Amino acid sequence: MNQRTCLSVILAAGEGTRMKSAMPKVLHAIAGLPMVAHVVKAAEAAGTTGLALVIGHGADEMRKAAQKFAPKAETFVQEKRLGTAHAVLAAREAISKGYDDILVMFGDTPLIDAQALAAARQKLAEGAAVAVIGFRPPSPTGYGRLIEKDGHLVAIREEKDCSEEEKKIGFCNAGMMAVAGKHALRLLDKVGNDNAKGEFYLTDIVEIAGAEGLDVVATEASFENALGINNRAELAEAEAIWQARRRREAMLSGVTLIAPETVYFSHDTEIGADTIVEPNVWFGLGVKISTGATIHAFSHMTGATIAENCEVGPFARLRPGADLRKKAKVGNFCEVKQSTVEEGAKVNHLTYIGDARVGAGANIGAGTITCNYDGYSKFFTDIGEGAFVGSNSSLVAPVSIGKGGYIASGSVITESVPDDALAFGRARQKTIPGKGKELRERFASAAAARKKAAAE
């Protein structure tokens, strides 16, 4: 089957009015990726060699988005919504190219997996003309039933048309199917619209193919695979299922999640074995973590790279461009953005490091900030290997601290510091005996006067 060509036709023209959104429904994200892109990924994993997106509402927005998640896909516009078969035929030009297999999927079923699609394709390789993907929901009420006889699918019956006996069938239509390319256009063109809604239904090809003596079968996918998204509540349900799958996958690959239900991954999160993740951690897009890292509770990461044996958090924020090298530490209430923290360097507490390099073995004291932005442009701070920056220091970029440099606590550093030098950037302390008592008495008297005036 691997040598068979396959076109995946993904129907994504629905308006999604129940989402209550100006954005096309299928662009709403799960794990940071549009739901239709999840369908594309499943199709690609199932061996598709061509992609056709049938779009409608928000066509320009869809095309722009597709350039990111499916740059090679052809897009076709369904101008009028006249049923699922009509939607598939919007991609007639692509279907007519002579693919062996045609997969028909929906852009709002993001949990479909490659195995379910591959199983349907396998039936085509074995000689079936049509393979319908079915599932067994907790309750079949409202779903079309798959009517089978002697191992063959003879009809898809909508519930309102089912007999009492047929209503007892628990095997239901998931909507997705595989059709042999050599039969696809002929079968689709035979679909009529002699029904109450005057629409062309894809499901009709089951009986059309059967009437021609072609083999029609059903394959079974899990209920989760077939879950369609129509509103934001269902979107959240799908997110929860996706996250549960990903957490289990991470744990089985050697990652410790202490409270897995509180950890959230993005679709592209990479996390190595022997990493420990404490509760309430968020992995945004573009996070890569090597082996043996420890991610403490309540940390938030996006676009960050974390090398082996690093330590992050608790309550740390790593923004895009944060690059932590081996055994680096970014501690509690620290933020790192567009900066490299080199091997063994420590950024322990209450610190902002932006547009900077923190050299290997350097230590950044609590409350230190790199002043990297003047309101118009960003500037770079370079902190050398083994440097020590005392607490509550402000490093005003562009500035460099040399290898082994030492910055006294509370300093404002505006000029570069040579290797091994000590720098002070603060006013000299002056102590006036008795002045504290005098100030307290003055302030207390003024407060009492204000209170008396307010009472009068």
Predicted confidence at residue 169, as pLDDT, reads 94
Ranges assigned E (strand) in 181-304: 216-220, 256-257, 270-271, 276-277, 282-283, 288-289, 294-295, 300-301
Tokens of 428: 């000299």
Q: How many CA atoms lie within 13 A of 392 on its CB side?
A: 3
Question: What is the DSSP secondary structure assignment for residue 285, as one 8-state letter?
Answer: T
Buried b (16+ CB within 10 A) or exposed e, 55-84: bbbbbeebeebbeebbeebbbbebeeebbb
Tokens of 229: 């998204």
Nearest to 41 by CA among 102, 101, 109, 93: 109
Quote the CA–CA distance of 432 and 20 in Å, as a whole number. Answer: 67
Strand 399-401, strand 388-389: pairing:
unpaired
First-last CA distance in the chain: 93
Predicted confidence at residue 74, as pLDDT, reads 95
Quote the CA–CA distance of 432 and 325 in Å, as a whole number. Answer: 48
Angle between helices 59-69 and 35-45 (to 10 degrees): 40
Quote the CA–CA distance of 388 and 372 in Å, as a whole number. Answer: 19
Give strand pairing partners of 337: 354
Give strand pairing partners of 129: none
0.85 cut: is pTM over it?
yes
Quote the CA–CA distance of 286 and 113 in Å, as a whole number. Answer: 22
Question: What is the DSSP secondary structure assignment for residue 384, as one 8-state letter?
Answer: -
Tokens of 14: 């629905």
Which amino acid, residue 28?
A: H
Question: What is the DSSP secondary structure assignment for residue 46, as one 8-state letter?
Answer: T
Q: Which long-range contacts (CB under 8 A, 24 or more apart) does 314-323 make?
A: 314/278, 318/287, 320/286
Q: How many CA atoms lie within 13 A of 98 on its CB side?
A: 0
Report, as residue numbers or ranges, the catalytic residues.
349
Which amino acid, residue 194?
A: D
Angle at 315 between CA 405 and CA 403, to 5 degrees: 10
Give strand pairing partners of 41: none
Quote the CA–CA distance of 42 and 112 in Å, as a whole number. Answer: 7
Chain length of the chain: 456
Are 225 and 245 in contact by the 8 Å Cβ rule? The answer is no
Quote the CA–CA distance of 365 and 409 in Å, as a whole number. Answer: 8
Question: What is the DSSP secondary structure assignment for residue 260, as one 8-state letter?
Answer: G
Are 295 and 288 in contact by the 8 Å Cβ rule? The answer is no
Domains of the chain by range and CATH?
A: 6-226 (3.90.550.10), 325-443 (2.160.10.10)
Enumerate residues 6+ apart whose C-beta is below 8 A from 271. 250, 255, 265, 277, 283, 287, 289
pLDDT tens, N- to C-terminus, the chain (456 residues)? 458 999 999 999 887 789 999 899 999 999 999 999 999 999 999 999 999 999 988 889 999 999 999 999 999 999 888 999 999 999 999 999 999 999 999 999 999 999 999 999 999 999 999 999 999 999 999 899 999 998 899 999 888 888 899 999 999 999 999 999 999 999 999 999 888 788 899 999 999 999 999 999 999 999 999 999 999 999 999 999 999 999 999 999 999 999 999 999 999 999 999 999 999 999 999 999 999 999 999 999 999 999 999 999 999 999 999 999 999 999 999 999 999 999 999 999 999 999 999 999 999 999 999 999 999 999 999 999 999 999 999 999 999 999 999 999 999 999 999 999 999 998 888 889 999 899 999 999 999 999 999 988
